[in-house]
Amino acid sequence: MTSLTEDSIFAGMQPIFEDILDAPDIELTRSSSALNLPNWDSLAHLEIMETVQRRFKVKFNILELQKLKTVGDLVDLILEKSVK
Amino acid sequence: MLNLDSCSIDDILMQRKSLRRALSAAEGLQDVRIAILGGSTTSEIVNLLELLLLQSGFRPVFHESEYGRYFEDAVLDPQSLIDFRPDIVYIHTSCLNVQAAPPLTCTEAELPNHVEAELARYRQVWNALEANLSCQIIQNNFEMPPYAVLGNMDAASPGGLSRFLLQLNIAFAQEIASRPRVLLQDVHGIAARFGVGRWFDWNRYFNYKLLLTAEANLELARSLNSLVKALYGKSRKVLVLDLDNTLWGGVIGDDGVDQIQIGRETPVGEAYTAFQQYCLALRNRGVLLAVCSKNNEDIARSGFGHPSTILKLEHISCFKANWDHKHENIRTIAKELNLGIDSFVFFDDNPAERALVSAQLPIVAVPEPGDDVTGYAAAIEHGRYFEPISLSDEDLGRAALYASNVQRASLEAEFSTYEDYLDSLEMSAEIEPFRSVYLERIAQLTNKTNQFNLTTRRYTVSEIQSISEDPGYIGLYGRLTDRLGDNGLVSVVLGHRDGNSIHMDLWLMSCRVLKRGMEAAMLDALVERAVASGILTIHGYYFPTRKNVMVADFYPSLGFLPCPLQPELPEGATAWTLDLSGYVKRNKHIKIEEQIRDQPY
C-alpha cells in the first residue's frame, strides 16, 4: 500500500466532506473548520469523524478527538496515526 | 447503485447523502412518519434507517426526541409528538437507561420489585403513547450489559445486572403480549448474535453520547426496516429453492438419488440435513416453500423420497422442475400460488442462475449463499425477509391451505358445470363488521392486496381501529371456509355514509378465493346492513393501477350502473351506483353463518 501524503489525504477527504456537508465543490484547506464551513454542526461532526477514521483506517483516541480544531489538525493526526 | 442489503457500513457512510438523493428519486414511495424516542443519540440510526426504508419503498419522515428525553417526551410533554402525528413510535433505550437496577445485596424475594419498578416506568410511556396517539409502538428490550462485574455470577445472583436485565426482558415480553399496539424489538437477541463486544462504542459514547458502533446501529436499522415492512404487510412469503447443491449435495440427474448427500452419514450430508430442517421450520411458521430446478421432473421429485430427506413433497407448495428459464418458472409459481413476485425470495447455489433472476425480476430477493452449505441458513436469516409481527392461526395453517388449493384445482376438473363444482365445495362464510381480533389482518390485507382491489387505499391498524369505532362507516370482513380448509379472512369492504348514500372507500379480496362467489356474498351482506340503516344507494369506485385491471368491470358485473364522474377522482377512475330498492340477493353457493354477533370482542 502506498503511504499517505497530505495531498492524498485531502483528495480522500474531499468526497466525504462534500457528501456529509451537502456541499459539492467545497474548498477544503488546512484552516477549514466548523467555524468557516457550511453545515458543520455537531451531528455532521460526528459523521465526519466516523467516516474519516474508516476511510483512512485509523482510530483516534478520546484525547486526540478533543484537540482537533481544524482540517489541518485532522490531516496531521491521520498522517501521524497511519505511520505507526 | 449500492445494494444496501449486502454492502458494508463504510460504503454506506461515505456516500450516505448521495445514496439518499438517488433512492428518494424513485416513484410511488409510501409515506411513513416515524418518531424516535431515544435514551442516547439516535441520529445515526435515523440516517441508516432512512436509507433502508427508502430502498424498501417508503418515504420516511422522522421526529427525534430531545437527547435522552424518551420518558419526558412521551409522558410529561407529549405535545410535539402529538403534533408530529407519527405512524410509528420507536422507543430506543439501552441498559444505560435502566434506573431501578438492584443493589448487590438484593435477594431473590426483592428482585421482582426492582423489575416491576423499571417496568412501571415503561408502562407509563406506553400508556401515554396509546392514549395520545393512534400509532404503532416499537419498544426494544435490553442487550446484556457491557461488563459483568460479578463475572459468571452476574447472570445468576439477584444483585447482578445481567440477571436483572434477563428478568426485565421476560417482564417486557409478558407485558407487551397484552398490548396489541406495542411490538418488541429483540435487541437482546440482535446484540447477542452480533456480539456484545462489537455492540458498544465507548469512544463515541463519551464524545457524542452515541452508544453503539456504526455496525451495531446498522443491525438495529435493518431490524427496524424489516419490522416496518412487516407492519405494512410487505414481508416476503415464499422461499423458492433450487435442488442440486442447494437442498442436497451433488447432482441428482448425474449421481442418482442414492448418491446425493443428505443424512447423518457424512459431514456434508449433515449440513444439508440441517439446512432442510431450517427450511422446514420456516414452512411450519407460514413461509411457503417452492422448488425451481433445472432437472427432469421425475428425477427431481425422487430426491424427496430419499430415506434421509427432511423436506417431503407435501411441504412444497409449488414444484417446478424443467429446463425453462428460472425467472419464467418463478412467474408461473407466482401465478399458481396467487402471490405477487415481490413476496418471493430465490435461493440457488449457482451464481449464473442468481444473476439471471436478479436481472429479469429485480423485485425478487436473491440472497448470496456463499460457497458453503453451512452458511446457507445464515444467508437467508441475514436478509430478514420473512419478519412476522404476529403468529396467527392463519400463518400456521397457510402452507396446508395452499396445498388444499392444489386439490381444489384438481376437483374442479371433475364437475360438469362450474356451479356444481362451487356447490361441491360446501362453502360457508362469516361476514361481519370489523372486530378487534381481525383489525391486524384487515390492515394487512389493505396493504398487500393489489390485484383484486378497487381503490388500493392502504390503512394502518390504528386507522382501521378508529374506523371500526366510527358509526359513519360501514366496514365488513369476510371469512370463507370450505370442505378442503379454512381460507381465513379474505375480503374487506368499507364505505362511509353520506346522507342516504354510502360511498365505497375500499373493496378488496384475496386472490386465493377468486371465482368462488364471495364477492356476491359480500355485496348481499353490505346491502343488508345498508338498508337496515336507511341507505338507499351505494356508490362504487374503481381507481386503475398497474395491477388491478382484473376488477375494472367489477361493479357492472354486480349490476351497478355507470354514474357521471366527480371531478376530484383520479385519472382513469370510473364511478358506479346501485339503487337498493328491490335488491335481489346475488349469492347462490355460500352458506352465511349467523353467529358471534353478540360476542364481546
Percent of residues, chain B, with pLDDT higher than 70: 94
pLDDT of residue B406: 62
Percent of residues, chain B, with pLDDT higher than 90: 75
Which residues in chain B have their CB less than 8 angstroms from residue A49's CB?
207
Which residue among A42, A46, A54 places its CB closest to the CB of B10? A54
User: Stretch B453-459: mean pLDDT, rounded?
Assistant: 93
Q: CB distance A46–B204 less than 8 Å? A: yes
Whether B382 contacts B373, CB under 8 Å: no
Helix axes B111-132, B161-177, angle to 10 degrees: 40
pLDDT of residue B484: 72
- Give the C-alpha distances (Å, rounded to integers) separating B324 from A2, B250, B299: 50, 21, 16
B53-96: per-residue pLDDT in tens? 999 999 999 999 988 899 999 999 999 999 999 999 999 999 99
**pLDDT-based confidence at residue B395 (cuts at 50, 70, 90):** low
B152-167: per-residue pLDDT in tens? 999 999 999 999 999 9
What is the per-residue burial (b if ≥16 Cβ within 10 Å, else e) of B227-236?
Answer: bbbbbbbbbb
**pLDDT-based confidence at residue B398 (cuts at 50, 70, 90):** low
Q: CB distance A55–B14 less than 8 Å? A: yes
Q: CB distance A46–B44 less than 8 Å? A: yes
Whether A79 contacts A10, CB under 8 Å: no
Cα distance between residue B15 and residue B293, in whole Å: 39
> Nearest 10 degrees: CA dihedral of B145, B149, B150, B151?
80
DSSP H or E run through B592? strand B590-592
Distance of alpha carbon B234 from the chain centroid: 5
Judged against a pLDDT cut of 60, whether residue B329 lies above it is answered with yes
pLDDT of residue B435: 85
Q: CB distance B15–A43 less than 8 Å? A: no
Nearest residue in B to A19, CA atom: B17
Smallest CA–CA distance, residue B210 to chain A, in Å, is: 9
Cα distance between residue B38 and residue B89, in whole Å: 10
Which residue among A22, A46, A51 places its CB closest to the CB of B208? A46
Judged against a pLDDT cut of 50, whether residue B509 lies above it is answered with yes
pLDDT of residue B555: 94
Q: Of B182, B186, B170, which is closest to residue B223 (Cα–Cα)?
A: B186
Per the structure block, which three cell numbers stand in for B86? 407519527
Helix axes B214-231, B43-55, angle to 10 degrees: 50
Per the structure block, which three cell numbers stand in for B337? 400460488
pLDDT of residue B413: 60
For residue B200, the 8-state DSSP code is B
- B25-39, B75-89, B397-411, B513-527: least confidently modelled range: B397-411
Backbone φ and ψ of B64, nearest 5°: -115, 140
* Interface size between A and B, measured as CB pairs under 8 A: 48
Please, which residues 31-90 of chain B have a Cβ atom closer than 8 Å to chain A? 41, 43-44, 47
pLDDT of residue A80: 93
Q: CB distance A61–B203 less than 8 Å? A: yes
Helix axes B16-24, A6-20, angle to 10 degrees: 40
Q: CB distance A50–B13 less than 8 Å? A: yes
Distance of alpha carbon B114 from the chain centroid: 35
- Please indicate if any CB of chain B lies within 8 Å of the CB of A52: no
DSSP H or E run through B185? strand B182-185
Judged against a pLDDT cut of 50, whether residue A56 lies above it is answered with yes
Cα distance between residue B283 and residue B271, in whole Å: 19
Spell out the alpha helix ranges (H) of B288-325: 297-302
Which residues in chain B have their CB less than 8 angstroms from residue A55's CB?
10, 14
Q: Say what the pTM is.
A: 0.71
Which residue among A16, A19, A50 places its CB closest to the CB of B214? A50
Say how many CA atoms lie within 13 Å of A49 toward its Cβ.
Answer: 28
Task: Please provide the average confidence, as pLDDT, over all residues in chain B.
Answer: 91
Backbone φ and ψ of B508, nearest 5°: -140, 160
- Please indicate if any CB of chain B lies within 8 Å of the CB of A43: yes
pLDDT of residue B412: 64
B21-37: per-residue pLDDT in tens? 999 999 999 999 999 99
Could you give all domains of chain A from N- to C-terminal order, each with its CATH number? 6-82 (1.10.1200.10)
- Please indicate if any CB of chain B lies within 8 Å of the CB of A41: no
Which residues in chain A have their CB less than 8 angstroms from residue B43's CB?
43, 46
Cα distance between residue B490 and residue B103, in whole Å: 54
- Please indicate if any CB of chain B lies within 8 Å of the CB of A62: yes
Judged against a pLDDT cut of 50, whether residue B434 lies above it is answered with yes
Strand order in the sheet with B288-294: B316-322, B288-294, B238-241, B344-347
- Please indicate if any CB of chain A lies within 8 Å of the CB of B14: yes
Cα distance between residue B532 and residue B582, in whole Å: 14
> Nearest 10 degrees: CA dihedral of B204, B210, B214, B216?
120
Q: Is B528 exposed, middle or buried (0-12, 13-18, 19+ CB in 10 A)?
A: middle
Nearest residue in A to B18, CA atom: A19
Cα distance between residue B326 and residue B170, in whole Å: 45
Smallest CA–CA distance, residue B193 to chain A, in Å, is: 23
Q: CB distance B18–A16 less than 8 Å? A: no
Q: Is B315 helix (H, G, I), strand (E, B) or coil?
A: helix
Smallest CA–CA distance, residue A31 to chain B, in Å, is: 23
B95-140: per-residue pLDDT in tens? 999 999 999 999 999 999 999 999 999 999 999 999 999 899 999 9
Q: CB distance A62–B208 less than 8 Å? A: no
Judged against a pLDDT cut of 60, whether residue B601 lies above it is answered with no
Q: What is the ipTM of this complex?
A: 0.87
Per the structure block, which three cell numbers stand in for B113? 420489585
Please, which residues 205-234 of chain B have a Cβ atom closer than 8 Å to chain A? 206-208, 210, 214
Q: Mutation test of the interface with chain A: which of B51, B202, B203, choosing the one with the most A Cβ atoms within 10 A?
A: B203
Pairing of strands B574-579, B561-562: antiparallel
The gap between the terminal CA atoms of chain B, to the nearest Å, is 49
The gap between the terminal CA atoms of chain A, to the nearest Å, is 14
User: Stretch B207-228: mean pLDDT, rounded?
Assistant: 96
pLDDT of residue B600: 41
Spell out the alpha helix ranges (H) of B339-491: 351-360, 376-382, 393-412, 418-424, 439-448, 461-468
pLDDT of residue B399: 60
What's the angle, vertex CA B457, arms to CA B456 and CA B458, rounded to 5?
Answer: 110
Whether B63 contacts B91, CB under 8 Å: no
Q: Is B397 exposed, middle or buried (0-12, 13-18, 19+ CB in 10 A)?
A: middle
Grid look-up 381503490 returns B455
Smallest CA–CA distance, residue B80 to chain A, in Å, is: 21
pLDDT of residue B138: 97
Q: What is the number of other CB atoms lying within 10 angstroms of the CB of residue B76?
A: 10
